[in-house]
Chain A
Amino acid sequence: MDIIVVGLNHKTAPIEMRERLHFPSDAIEEPLKKVTDLSYISEGLILSTCNRVEVIAVTKDPEKGINEVKDFLSFYHNVSKQQLDSCLYSYESYDAVRHIFKVASSLDSMIVGEPQILGQLKDAYSMANKYKTSGLIMHKFFHKAFSVGKKVRTESMIATSAVSISFAAVELAKKIFDDLKDKVVMLIGSGEMSELAARHLMNNGVKEILIANRTHSKAVKLADEFVGRPIVFEDLALFLDQVDIVISSTSSPHYTIGYDDVVRSLKIRKYKPIFLIDIAVPRDIDPRINNIDNVYLYDIDDIQGVVDANIKARREEAKKAERIIEREVDQFDRWLKSLSVVPTIISLKESLEDIRKKEVERTISGLNGNSQLDRELLDNLTSSIINKILHSPLTQLKRQENTRRRDYYIDAIRNLFNLK
């Protein structure tokens, strides 16, 4: 039995193609059933996110299994095979295991280290469980993949630094203030990115959010949303002495915060640090402000620089993660290889034969008299007992050769008889 993966991701396929191949999660039962109905496929699972579509399956013949899955994708989504072939990748056995472990560890993601993929993989697995298209190999495989994903996350620092503008801003704030609990934030203007940053700050427990907008009604509306306090736009400089973190993104062509405003309020607040984030282009905050002691001003390019540095650091960590994955792939591969009928029967017989011989020797040494005759008698007796006992289970096992239950039987036998 082998594991195969057929799919495409953000590296191999343009968004149009990913959209066409997407499997919506509320209609996943039919394709899942269709995959497992294919003649060479015994277990199947479909992972479909905005960046990737992958069919992960268990097959007895990787080559034929991969072809069947490709045909299925082409037929199901009505895409020509040539078109599909240019975007699809496929992996079998060892490589397939490694690929899925990498996906689970978020090494294959568009943003390396992003945390959502593990959850998406878990959802895909629970769908396969719900519609009973997964069996022993998939269970073991995915539990292993989840634990590898977690291990990579804890043992490498792959996910410790922020790779989005809004998160990087929060992280910088923490490097300046340590704890954000008693901090006051001022949000000037509106915009998706600035509101996201404000929301992250709120999730980190900041004390209060002041909201200023040139159109005061907008400020009131935003204040409702953020449970903040609207302030009059023209007076915002007067509030600066109360504020630790400023996020500004207005469409104003002029500076909304000037050098003197900051110098004056800094004195009032006894030089407690201020962190200003200027997301606007053209800029809202006088860049000279960064020269003042205890004042930190980041414009959009500066934060992008931090994000880039974080991404670079993550890539370094990714190398470490790959080593962890290599070890785990080896381990899983060994288990997978042990799951075949003939070697299991051989090692079961060997194990029993060992026991039989040892017991015969022990009995012989306790008997006096014609040991040659005794030995023949005992050998015949014990061998025939073992063969009789083994007859029924081995026939059963051979009968299951081509069903999904076969893997459970083998796994059970290996466990019960402690076979290596």
Chain B
Amino acid sequence: MNIFFFKAVLIFYLAGTLIFLLYLLRQKPFISKIATTFLFSGFVFHTISLTLRYFEAGYIPITNLHEAPSFLAWAIVCLYLIVQFKYKIDVLGSFISPLALILIVISAAFSKEIGPLPSILKSTWLPIHVILAFVGNAIFALAFCAGVMYLIQEYQIKSKRIGSLYYRLPSLKLLDDINHYCLTIGFPLLTLAMISGSIWARFAWGSFWNWDAKEVWTLLTWVFYAVLLHGRINMGWRGKRAAVFAIIGFFAVMFSFLGINTMCSGLHSYER
């Protein structure tokens, strides 16, 4: 049953994304409304799909390459809907929906079988560690989108080339604020995810730190975001530089999320 809803999610996110891309070309308010409706319906199906899968498997569905990207996509769309509801930045959907779509397509490419949970993962730390990490990742995804939007808008204003997006993209201040908020929420979440992970590792593997590839890469990402946070708070970093940092930071996040597991084997490898 969860697979049926998953397919619906795929179709609705695809439709939502295509309509949102159309919105970039033809900027009529009703187009973004339709797109948001599709995305929202997709999100409802997604929630159903994940819930069903949770009950079918008996554990939180984030342990393999089908489940993890799907869960992250869900978190990102959830975050988008909250932000959209509060700030009404229609055009944000055009940037964030392709991201959710890519994740859901990756998820679809992997086996959807529900396997038994490996004994090493049977722990109350699993949901704590993973949910902290995923929500953090979703927030960094939002910062990434705001960063891309900032760079486009900044380019238009700075170079005085007023394109059609100038009218629809929000102000530089708002985009920079989103970047800032995301960092101040995402960074503590990332930190907590790492702390909870190392406590769990102490119990499961016997040591707080195991020099696992994912651990190392995540530490690098953490340092990177720490530098950005320090720069923002103490050195007046803002605007373009902060936007570029948020974009690079998100690539690092995505690499540790998906890339590192497929390239090197280690303790964090997803189940196949």
Interface residues of A (CB under 8 A from B): 157, 160-161, 172, 174-179, 267, 270-273, 290, 293-294, 296, 298, 302, 305-306, 309-310, 313
Number of interface residues of B (CB under 8 A): 19
Residues of B within 8 A of A179 (CB): 173
Cα A47 to Cα B240 in complex, Å, equals 52
Check if B111 is an interface residue, CB within 8 A of chain A: no
Identify 28 residue pairs between A and B in the complex whose beta-carbon atoms are under 8 Å apart, listed by A's number.
A160-B167, A161-B167, A172-B157, A174-B171, A175-B153, A175-B166, A176-B172, A177-B173, A178-B170, A178-B171, A178-B173, A179-B173, A270-B236, A271-B236, A271-B239, A273-B172, A290-B158, A293-B240, A294-B238, A294-B240, A296-B157, A296-B158, A302-B160, A305-B160, A305-B162, A309-B162, A313-B164, A313-B167
Q: Which 8 pairs, one residue from A and one from B, show the smallest C-beta to C-beta distance? A: A270-B236, A178-B171, A178-B173, A309-B162, A271-B236, A302-B160, A294-B239, A178-B174
Cα A176 to Cα B157 in complex, Å, equals 8
Cα A157 to Cα B172 in complex, Å, equals 22
B160 engages A175 (CB within 8 Å) = no
Mark interface residues in B152-169 (1 if CB within 8 Å of A CB, else 0): 010001101010101100
Check if B55 is an interface residue, CB within 8 A of chain A: no
Q: How far is the CB of B188 from chain A (nearest CB, A)?
A: 23
Residues of B within 8 A of A174 (CB): 171
Residue of B nearest to A174 (CB): B171
Task: Give the contacts of B226-242 with A (CB-CB under 8 A).
Answer: 236-241
A176 engages B173 (CB within 8 Å) = yes
Given known A175-B172, A176-B171, contact A293–B239 (CB-CB < 8 A): yes
Cα A176 to Cα B176 in complex, Å, equals 10
Residues of B within 8 A of A294 (CB): 238-240
Q: How far is the CB of A272 from chain B (nearest CB, A)?
A: 8
Residue of A nearest to B158 (CB): A296
Residues of B within 8 A of A267 (CB): 236
Q: How far is the CB of B157 from chain A (nearest CB, A)?
A: 6
Q: How far is the CB of A274 from chain B (nearest CB, A)?
A: 12
Residue of A nearest to B177 (CB): A178
Cα A313 to Cα B164 in complex, Å, equals 8
Given known A175-B172, A176-B172, A177-B171, contact A298–B160 (CB-CB < 8 A): yes
Interface residues of B (CB under 8 A from A): 153, 157-158, 160, 162, 164, 166-167, 170-174, 236-241
Residue of B nearest to A266 (CB): B236
Residues of A within 8 A of B153 (CB): 175
Residues of A within 8 A of B237 (CB): 271
Residues of A within 8 A of B158 (CB): 290, 296
Residues of B within 8 A of A157 (CB): 167
Cα A294 to Cα B235 in complex, Å, equals 14
Residues of B within 8 A of A178 (CB): 170-174
Q: How far is the CB of B235 from chain A (nearest CB, A)?
A: 8
Residues of A within 8 A of B236 (CB): 267, 270-272
Q: How far is the CB of B108 from chain A (nearest CB, A)?
A: 38
A306 engages B173 (CB within 8 Å) = no
Residues of A within 8 A of B157 (CB): 172, 175-176, 296
B167 engages A273 (CB within 8 Å) = no
Q: How far is the CB of B10 from chain A (nearest CB, A)?
A: 34
Cα A293 to Cα B237 in complex, Å, equals 10
Residues of A within 8 A of B166 (CB): 175, 309
B240 engages A175 (CB within 8 Å) = no
Q: How far is the CB of B162 from chain A (nearest CB, A)?
A: 4
Cα A161 to Cα B173 in complex, Å, equals 19
Contacts A174-B171, A176-B171, A309-B166 known; list 16 others, CB within 8 Å: A175-B153, A175-B166, A176-B172, A176-B173, A178-B171, A178-B173, A179-B173, A267-B236, A271-B238, A273-B173, A273-B239, A293-B240, A294-B238, A294-B239, A313-B164, A313-B167
Residues of B within 8 A of A270 (CB): 236
Residues of B within 8 A of A271 (CB): 236-239
Residue of B nearest to A179 (CB): B173
Contacting A293 at CB < 8 Å: which of B173, B174, B241?
B241
Residue of B nearest to A290 (CB): B158
Q: How far is the CB of A218 from chain B (nearest CB, A)?
A: 31
Residues of B within 8 A of A161 (CB): 167
Q: How far is the CB of A168 from chain B (nearest CB, A)?
A: 10
Cα A418 to Cα B156 in complex, Å, equals 58
Cα A298 to Cα B237 in complex, Å, equals 23
Q: How far is the CB of A227 from chain B (nearest CB, A)?
A: 25
Residues of A within 8 A of B164 (CB): 313
Cα A179 to Cα B167 in complex, Å, equals 16
Q: How far is the CB of A378 from chain B (nearest CB, A)?
A: 58
Residues of A within 8 A of B171 (CB): 174-178
Residues of B within 8 A of A290 (CB): 158
Residues of A within 8 A of B170 (CB): 178
Residue of A nearest to B162 (CB): A309
Residues of A within 8 A of B172 (CB): 175-178, 273
Residue of A nearest to B172 (CB): A176
- The winner among A157, A161, A267, A294 for most chain B CB atoms within 10 A is A294
Cα A306 to Cα B157 in complex, Å, equals 10
Residues of B within 8 A of A302 (CB): 160
Cα A179 to Cα B170 in complex, Å, equals 11
A306 engages B162 (CB within 8 Å) = yes
- The winner among A160, A175, A293, A310 for most chain B CB atoms within 10 A is A175
Residues of B within 8 A of A313 (CB): 164, 167
Q: How far is the CB of A199 from chain B (nearest CB, A)?
A: 22
Q: How far is the CB of B36 from chain A (nearest CB, A)?
A: 19
Residue of B nearest to A157 (CB): B167
Cα A172 to Cα B238 in complex, Å, equals 19
Cα A267 to Cα B236 in complex, Å, equals 8
Residue of B nearest to A320 (CB): B28
